Amino acid sequence: MAERILEVDNLCTQFKTERGLLKAIDGVSFEVYRGEMLGIVGESGCGKSVTSQSILRLYDEKNLAVYSGQVRFEGQNLFDLSQKEMQKIRGARISMVFQDALSSLNPVFTVGNQIMEALMIHQNISKKDAREKAVKMLGMVGIPDPEGRFFQYPFELSGGMRQRVMIAVALACRPDILIADEPTTALDVTIQAQIMDLMVEMNRKLDMGVMLITHDLAVVAETCHRVLVMYLGQIVEEGLVEDIFDRPLHPYTKGLIASIPKLDSQKGEKLHQIKGTVPVLGKVPEGCRFAPRCPYAGAECRTKAPELKKVNESQKVRCHLADRRADRG
């Protein structure tokens, strides 16, 4: 079994708001293994991004966020570290790629400069070496004419190129973990495929754990090894990609999979959708959080909150009905 590099244990993230503390993440636990690609899926507002940004402690802890639980990296709980120690981990050991590269790259610095900066913060190298390495990084992420592109500004590059630059920034220091927060959402389909290919290639080449956050199940099915399905700040199902797609146990997962448009469906046929919308954080339903939208919900579902339970070697699910099904068979 591959080395376990990141353990998230009962992570809770609460935000201070005018109406008091709101729990955006409620007891999320999972692991990331070296060399794997872990997909995290769910609708908007389910806490995927908050989870990833909580791992790096990117939220303002003075005014905005309260974390609890543990995020263990190399046996160390990241929440025990000072901000200074945290800065040494960010970008060097755990890196992040964001959704929109145009707004995530600093508009007034050249792309080369932004890659160099990552190198010079974390590695004790000269400017000249950093420049050489940065050019190499640009080449590695598939940017043609890296020497020329080095001096360009983000706004002078195409969307796909910018995303590649952002990946180059994130990978410059060869991190152990790359968190990619919807890296392809802002791109058109052909570029999406290229960027995903690049992510898979880098995952193999650098032997790092990749957390791919997305709402695109097709991308997950094609690239990931394992997948976490999140709903309203909790993990509702976890398992190997094959298992989840072949035998989804949670009604929410089933709904998500059924919602993928199929090419062989009839024209005019309505696309599948999950009834209702994600409730706001202040109004988390009692019992199972998905119960109000679940077509199978029974009396128990509305009163008692289900636990995330292991149903087989690799699959976990948070559903009363799945339990029963597992008991029976």
By CB under 8 A, the residues from 102 to 161 that bind other proteins are 103-109, 117-118, 121-122, 153, 155
By CB under 8 A, the residues from 44 to 73 that bind other proteins are 53, 56, 58, 63
Specify the stretch interacting with other proteins by CB under 8 A; choose among 21-29, 97-105, 142-150, 263-271: 97-105
Ramachandran region, residue 182 (left: φ > 0; alpha: ψ -120 to 50; beta: rest): left
Q: Please identify, using beta-carbon distances, which residue of 14 and 53 lies nearer to other proteins.
A: 53
Q: Please identify, using beta-carbon distances, which residue of 119 and 219 lies nearer to other proteins.
A: 119
Report if residue 305 touches other proteins, rule: CB under 8 A: no
Distance CA 265, CA 191 (A): 25
65-73/4-17 β-pairing:
antiparallel
Q: Please identify, using beta-carbon distances, which residue of 56 and 288 lies nearer to other proteins.
A: 56
Q: Please identify, using beta-carbon distances, which residue of 90 and 254 lies nearer to other proteins.
A: 90
**Under rule CB under 8 A, how many of the chain's residues touch other proteins?**
31
Q: Please identify, using beta-carbon distances, which residue of 101 and 249 lies nearer to other proteins.
A: 101
Specify the stretch interacting with other proteins by CB under 8 A; choose among 91-99, 182-190, 244-252, 316-324: 91-99
184 with 195: CB under 8 angstroms?
A: yes
Cα three-residue angle 319-320-323, rounded to 5 degrees: 90
Residue 22 beta carbon to other proteins: minimum distance, rounded to whole angstroms: 18
234-240/316-317 β-pairing:
antiparallel
Q: Please identify, using beta-carbon distances, which residue of 169 and 321 lies nearer to other proteins.
A: 169
By CB under 8 A, the residues from 157 to 186 that bind other proteins are 166, 169-170
Of 4, 88, 127, 324, the one binding other proteins (CB under 8 A) is 88
Q: Please identify, using beta-carbon distances, which residue of 55 and 301 lies nearer to other proteins.
A: 55
Distance CA 162, CA 202 (A): 17
- Tokens at residue 96, please? 């992040």
Q: Please identify, using beta-carbon distances, which residue of 30 and 98 lies nearer to other proteins.
A: 98
Residue 169 beta carbon to other proteins: minimum distance, rounded to whole angstroms: 6
Distance CA 272, CA 254 (A): 11
Residue 167 beta carbon to other proteins: minimum distance, rounded to whole angstroms: 12
Burial class (CB in 10 A: 0-12, 13-18, 19+), 262: exposed
11 with 51: CB under 8 angstroms?
A: yes
Q: DSSP labels for 105-158?
A: S-TTS-HHHHHHHHHHHHS---HHHHHHHHHHHHHHTT-SSHHHHTT--GGGS-
| 51-to-40, 76, 147, 164 alpha-carbon distances in Å | 10, 18, 37, 24
Interface with other proteins by CB under 8 A: which residues? 53, 56, 58, 63, 83, 87-92, 95-96, 98, 100, 103-109, 117-118, 121-122, 153, 155, 166, 169-170
